[in-house]
């Protein structure tokens, strides 16, 4: 039985492997090229903080995504994706604990987590996968 210190080390190593760039960062999405999916609850949009609202609806954010991504979407949690490409369907199926949620991938690495608080912080996350 490993000592408690070893369990901590093993957990850190596993996290490093998942987020090191091998595979798609643990994401089930492997479509090549930079892709961004933002998942929100549109009925709760008025409850978003101003920075998150800007991520979802501002011209600078949309321009950044247009210029840097192969594809990007902002979808409601209830969006019917049955007619979308498999990789968008896969991205929508990624487990999330809340909304708004951000999924970023480039075919090799990716991230999935709560939507950052600002446009700048969101761009910083996306830039890691360019």
9, pLDDT greater than 70: no
Residues 122 and 54: beta-carbon distance below 8 Å: no
Element (H, E) at 111: strand 110-114
- In this predicted model, which residue has the larger pLDDT, 45 or 17? 45
Higher pLDDT, 16 or 36: 36
CA atoms within 13 A on the CB side of 86: 5
Residue 7 banded pLDDT, cuts 50, 70, 90: very low
Condensed to tens digits (0 to 9), the pLDDT of residues 56-109 reads 999 999 999 999 999 999 999 999 999 999 999 999 999 999 999 999 999 999
Phi, psi of 21 (to 5 degrees): 115, -5
- Give, for 114, the enclosing helix (H) or strand (E): strand 110-114
* Fold classification of 22-127 (topology level): Glutaredoxin (3.40.30)
H or E segment and range at residue 112: strand 110-114
| DSSP structure string for 10-79 | HHHHHHHHHTTTSTTTT-S---SS-EEEEEE-GGGGGGS-HHHHHHHH-HHHHHHHHHH-SEEEEEETT-
Mean predicted confidence (pLDDT) in 5-25: 41
Q: What is the pLDDT of residues 45-58, one digit of tens each?
A: 999 999 999 999 99
Backbone angles phi, psi at 51, to 5 degrees: -65, -40
What tokens appear for 116 in the block? 């950052």
- Residue 5 pLDDT class (50, 70, 90 cuts): low
SS3 assignment, position 10: helix
Task: Give the residue, 90 or 12, on which the prediction is more confident.
Answer: 90
- pTM of the entire structure? 0.80
């Amino acid at each position: 039985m490993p000592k408690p210190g070893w369990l901590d080390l093993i957990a850190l190593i596993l996290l490093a492997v998942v987020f090191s760039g091998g595979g798609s960062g643990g994401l089930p999405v492997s479509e090549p090229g930079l892709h961004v999916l933002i998942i929100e609850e549109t009925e709760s949009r008025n409850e978003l903080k101003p920075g998150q609202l800007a991520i979802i609806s501002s011209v600078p954010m949309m321009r950044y995504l247009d210029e840097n991504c192969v594809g990007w979407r902002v979808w409601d949690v209830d969006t019917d994706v049955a007619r979308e490409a498999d990789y968008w369907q896969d991205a929508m199926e990624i487990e999330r604990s809340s909304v708004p949620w951000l999924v970023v991938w480039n075919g090799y690495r990716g991230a999935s987590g709560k939507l950052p608080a600002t446009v700048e912080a969101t761009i910083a996350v996306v830039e890691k996968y360019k």
